[in-house]
Amino acid sequence: MTRSQQKYLFLAIGIVLSLWTVYTQFFASEEALRMSDQYHIDKAMHFLGGVLLVGIARGYFGFSGMWAVFLVIAAGIGWELFELWFFPNVREFSVMRYEVWRSDMRGDVILDIAGGFASLVWYKEKWLTLL
């Protein structure tokens, strides 16, 4: 994939993630949010976020594969804390159903990391083949 194609791919992923965030925070009904939680639709967004972060970290900032994955872990945890502090529906969810929220948060971070590793495979990181 050429650098120009990568830019368009990362732009498309960024737009999808932004639209998903706006939809879930401002337009989604309670039923839509419940279905997203029940069927783990938001996990796809976390996976794409991991792909995007590692792609940008590797392709544009020259991070090594391992540091790019550490960045994804930090960003995934940071995003979950950001949601908890600034999104009222997430804060309410965490209080009303703490165990479910904790499990969902853990799954979100795992999918962030999986997306990061998928991006590394896409870049054919040599250290990854040793695992």
Instruction: List the chain domain ranges.
Output: 3-130
pLDDT at residue 19 above 60? yes
Dihedral sign (CA 63, 68, 70, 74): positive
Return mean pLDDT, the chain. 87
Question: Residues 6 or more apart from 107 whose CB is under 8 A from it?
Answer: 40, 43
Question: Could you give the CA distance from residue 40 to residue 43 in angstroms, rounded to a whole number?
Answer: 5
- Alpha carbon of 105 to those of 20, 27, 43, 83: distances in Å? 17, 22, 10, 10
Percent of the chain with pLDDT over 70: 93
Name the residue among 54, 26, 56, 24 with its Cα closest to residue 42. 24
Name the residue among 43, 13, 62, 56 with its Cα closest to residue 113. 43
pLDDT at residue 130 above 50? no
What does the pLDDT look like over 37-90, one tens digit per residue? 888 889 999 999 999 999 889 888 888 888 998 999 999 999 999 989 998 888
pLDDT at residue 35 above 80? yes
Confidence of residue 125 (pLDDT cuts 50, 70, 90): low
pLDDT, average across residues 103-124: 90
Q: 65-86 and 88-96 are packed helices; what angle lies between their axes, rounded to 10 degrees?
A: 90
Residue 9: its pLDDT value, please?
87
Confidence of residue 3 (pLDDT cuts 50, 70, 90): confident
Residue 129: its pLDDT value, please?
43
45, amino acid identity: M
Torsional class of 87: left (φ above 0), alpha (ψ -120 to 50), beta (otherwise): beta
